[in-house]
Structure 1
Amino acid sequence: MPSTETLERFIARVEDNAHPEAIEEFYAPHATMRENQSAPRVGRGTLVSNERGVMARAQSVRSQCVRPVLASGEHVAIRWIFDFHWRDGSHSHIEEVTWQRWEGEQIAEETFFYDPAQMRPVKRPA
């Protein structure tokens, strides 16, 4: 079960848009991450690499935790809003809920629940 302090540090890292760094700091070496019902990505190194790829495609990102954060034992639910401005001039507004299972002070499993239609970038007017 994560301490309140650890959970707040994790949220602050993500809100600072240090997404790959948050994975390096807060995820277990054997952690898994999945989108909706897709196959999980496995291993912290894989998760960091994937996140670096996403962030490299973004010109800017705004990450916001929508409170309250719900925590019960080893499980945590967080509602996030992400605004991505992509290098190709498009943007994505994504609202999701993440369901995490923590092992002590590290995330072991995470599933993101969101509407996949949000993932289609929208072109900005010229």
Structure 2
Amino acid sequence: MPTLETLERFIAQVEANAHAEAVEAFYTADASLQENQEPPRVGRDFHVAKERAVMSRARSVTSTCVRPAFLNGDHVAIRWIFRFEWADGSVTRLEEIAHQRWEGERIAQEQFFYDPQQRIPVPRALD
């Protein structure tokens, strides 16, 4: 079960757009992440590389935790809003709920729930 302090450090790191660093610091080596009902992807190193690849394609990123975050034993639920401005000027705004299962002070399993239509970039003028 994570402490409230650990959860707050995790949220702060994501809000600072240090996504890959948050994965390195707060996920187990064999962490499982799942997008909606897609098959889970396993392995912290894989997720770190994926986060770095996404962040390298973005001109700017804003990551916001919509409070409150919910902590109940080993389970955490966080509502996030992410705004990515891409190199071509298009924008992706993604609002999701992340449901996490922690083992001690690290995330072992996470599933994201969001409307996949949000992943389609829109021209900046329409953002």
Report the TM-score, using the length of structure 2 for normalisation.
Answer: 0.96
Offset from partner CA, 1:76-123 (integer Å, 9 cap, x none): 000000010011210011100000000000000000000001000001
**Once the 2 structures are TM-superposed, how far is the Cα of residue 124 of structure 1 from its aligned partner?**
2.1
Percent identity, aligned pairs only? 62
Provide the residue aligned with 1:73 in structure 2. Answer: 73
* SS of aligned partner of 1:38: coil
Name the counterpart of 1:44: 44
Which stretch of the first structure deviates more once superposed, 12-21 or 33-42?
Answer: 33-42
Superposition RMSD in Å: 0.6
Q: Provide runs of 4+ in structure 1 moved above 4 Å.
A: none
> Residues 52-77 of structure 1: CA distance to partner in whole angstroms, max 9, x if unpaired?
11111100000000011111100000
**What SS class does the counterpart of residue 17 from structure 1 fall into?**
coil
Structure 1 position 98 matched with structure 2 position 98: yes
Match of residue 4 from structure 1: 4
Counterpart CA distance in 2 for 1:65 and 1:45 is 24
Q: Structure 1: 5+ residue runs without aligned partners?
A: none
Q: Is 2:82 the counterpart of 1:82? A: yes
CA distance in 1, matches of 2:98, 2:124: 28
Take 1:9 and 1:72, find their aligned partners in 2: how far apart are those partners? 17
TM-score under structure 1 length normalisation: 0.97
Pairs aligned (count)? 125
Partner Cα separation in structure 2 for residue 15 and residue 91 of structure 1? 18
Query: Match of 2:47, SS?
Result: helix
